């Protein structure tokens, strides 16, 4: 069987670290993931995906990630059933994170709410884009094609 979920989105709120009675770290958080399709004349829609991280991953997320930050999550989808306060049986879908990664640079995330990154590189002057990024190929030259493949 295959159950792999890979998502990229922005944290809706700061993650909060909790512990089980056996002192296992756990956090749950939600990310907003933009849909790839936009109807003509409509605003882009987003899905709000619940994520759960355990142990070291939970500690890492709570230490380094904050509301508004772009994150990449790799994990698996799990379901669970529970009874709500009104006695109704409910089913929850969530992604159990195996890995959570930074999906933007520190400089890009510095403007997000709750970010507390401070390093020497945050104040460094912005470097100009390499010449090839603007279409200038610099030292490269096009090799003429003779349509004779060597294989």
Q: Could you state, in order of their start, the residue ranges of all structural domains in the chain?
A: 5-36+43-134
pLDDT in tens, the chain (151 residues): 999 999 999 999 999 999 999 999 999 999 999 998 888 888 889 999 999 999 999 999 999 999 999 999 999 999 999 999 999 999 999 999 999 999 988 776 665 544 333 333 334 444 444 444 445 555 556 666 666 655 5
Q: How far apart are CA 65 and CA 149, in angstroms?
A: 50
CA-wise closest residue to 7 among 138, 103, 117, 108: 103
At 64, list the tokens: 């380094």
Torsion of CA 22, 26, 84, 9, to 10 degrees: -170
Residues, the chain = 151
Q: How far apart are CA 18 and CA 24, in angstroms?
A: 8
Q: Read off the pTM.
A: 0.67
CA-wise closest residue to 104 among 68, 138, 139: 68
Pick the CATH number of 5-36+43-134 from 3.40.1190.20, 3.60.15.10, 3.40.50.300, 2.40.50.140: 2.40.50.140
At 96, list the tokens: 């159990």
């Amino acid at each position: 069987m295959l159950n792999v979920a890979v998502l990229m989105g922005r944290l809706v709120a700061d993650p909060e670290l909790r512990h089980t009675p056996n002192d296992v770290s756990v956090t749950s958080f939600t990310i907003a993931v933009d849909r790839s399709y936009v109807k003509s004349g409509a605003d882009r829609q987003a899905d709000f995906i619940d994520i759960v991280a355990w142990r070291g991953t939970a500690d890492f997320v709570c230490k380094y990630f904050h509301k508004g930050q772009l994150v990449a999550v790799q994990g698996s989808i799990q379901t669970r059933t529970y009874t709500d306060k009104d006695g109704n049986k409910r089913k929850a879908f969530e992604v159990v994170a195996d890995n959570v990664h930074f999906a933007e640079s520190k400089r890009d995330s510095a403007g997000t709410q709750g970010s507390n990154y401070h390093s020497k590189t945050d104040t460094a002057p912005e470097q100009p884009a390499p010449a090839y990024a603007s279409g200038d190929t610099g030292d490269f030259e096009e090799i003429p094609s003779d349509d004779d493949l060597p294989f």
